[in-house]
Chain A
């Protein structure tokens, strides 16, 4: 093997390297820098070591918002996945109903996130909002700005409305890629509707569903805009999710050191979950 030595080729990597450095490495390193120091403005820094990390990891406030974040993500996955699959199963496979359904389904996905928040805020207002007013006149004591249960209910409802479509579209694509012969073969075998779902549709949708879980997990774990506009984390701290809490700490209280440490922990959690999902997906890939 005569390999031509041409180290000059590395020069071509420089632009990409510079770009990545400026939009990822430098900001990240700045955060790392802040997370180990204390600052009082005017560029005065004082080395603090791992103090902020210890503080954050032991802080009840962080535990609470992280817990809320996991509960929220868990609940919306639990609702959106089965609901999305169920809707996809009932969608027509041919005819004029297909484009109608697809357009209806993609509509919520096209609305900017802050608009979704504002929409639901007005929609759910207990006095003038359609949802809030209707619930109250039906005899429910509903007020999402004051009762934490109602705030959670509204936030989850909003997220389900906004994002179930994504699961629906992915599942629908998965379902449509199943050849009709599979259904015929099952019919000849005398399989029930449940058998068809369990042994043909679900396994055939496995890949798109893994993708759907991954996307929905990431998005909901980093949710910020919609609850910020809808509840602002309230009432009290009831819907104060991780990202909301982080921004409050960094910009509201200007605790840059702890906020930076929290950012890094947040980042590592997301990275870890990504890695877990990725390896789960790749495990199946490797087998094929």
Chain B
């Protein structure tokens, strides 16, 4: 058995590939034609708001749902019509899904029992996974005796115990409270570190994607906008949509004109110099909220005046919404920056971090 397993690893270059996958329900299109190739030993984040098509895409990947057209290839085999039971995948949901009258041990063991693994082997593997997920002390309890975090750990353990080729996590942290979410989010990438599998993680939160790393696909309304290394997608969004999806709080967008070295906001007289090499003309800039601050940051900053709409404090950060011209802006500063509503205030924008888009919303350059 081990020999066969090693051989299998050597021969096959594991990958999951979606080829022109499309999903329609009635007259509605849930997924527009999508091409995506996920490599082995990667964590892939599907990032998008609700109804972006994350769950549909995952269900198609798992085989729980069939695409209207297009093909799914796994390890060089067309698995489009293959039933979910015959694929080696596991899934964790936003809700804590466990068998209600099984103990934690029985729950974790359930996928192994069905496939007929020997009891000794089951004990060994469940014990190992339980230890990994800090469930060893709760193996004899039932799911409804556990906290939400422990229930989700049990569900995760069930997904991990069977050595799946494909592990799908559909917003697994969404129903957990803040502290548990942070804790589990840190552990997640470690859990998959030395496994030969493809992990897909769906989330609505840009921060999740950044913390988990790996690759990210940004999604909007059934379209995969951009797929690449998470940091690349974040720092070099192909277009404005991808940048918007991957920004929380929302990105500030303004129209500008460029002539020579001078860049100017269309709406008012805020202007700055930059040696960004683009032709003269009209552009859009995208500025992430943390690049507008109440203090100077970076070597090249430009002042902007604003009237405070609302200011929110969240622990060590201050979120200030303000108006300048016709636009509403969002800024995120470190520390506690107390501002009164209606107050006129001066903020600084970090010019080096600006993203420039052409009028068709494509990224021209950044910084």
Interface residue ranges, A against B (CB under 8 Å): 179, 181-182, 184-185, 187-191, 199-200, 203-204, 287-288
Contact = CB atoms under 8 A, between A and B. Distances in A.
B111 A204 contact: no
A200 B99 contact: yes
Contacts, number: 48
11 contacts: A179-B95, A185-B93, A185-B97, A190-B111, A190-B115, A200-B99, A203-B99, A203-B100, A203-B101, A287-B144, A287-B145
A200 B95 CA distance: 15
Given A199-B102, A287-B145, A288-B145, A188 B97 contact: no
B114 A191 contact: yes
A194 to B, nearest CB: 13
A181 B145 CA distance: 20
Interface in B97-116: 97, 99-102, 110-111, 114-115
Given A181-B93, A181-B95, A288-B144, A187 B100 contact: no
Contact of A188 (B85, B99, B144, B145): B85
B60 interface: no
Chain A interface secondary structure, helix, strand, loop or mixed? helix
A181 B91 CA distance: 10
A199 B99 contact: yes
A188 B91 contact: yes
Most chain B C-beta atoms within 10 Å of own C-beta, residue among A188, A190, A203, A204: A188
Interface residues of B, number: 23
Contacts of B100: 200, 203-204
A204 B95 CA distance: 15
A203 B99 CA distance: 9
A138 B68 CA distance: 53
Interface string B158-195: 00000000000000000000000000000000000000
Contact of A190 (B62, B85, B97, B142): B85
Contact of B90 (A188, A200, A203, A287): A188
A210 to B, nearest CB: 14
B84 interface: yes
B89 interface: yes
A213 to B, nearest CB: 18
B99 A184 contact: no
Report, nearest first, the 7 A-B pairs whose CB atoms are least far apart: A190-B85, A203-B100, A203-B101, A181-B93, A185-B97, A288-B144, A181-B97
Contacts of A288: 144-145
Contacts of A181: 93-95, 97
Contacts of B115: 190
A196 to B, nearest CB: 10
A203 B100 CA distance: 6
A181 to B, nearest CB: 4
Contacts of A200: 99-100
A179 B94 CA distance: 11
A288 B203 CA distance: 30
A190 B91 CA distance: 13
Contact of B84 (A182, A188, A203, A204): A188
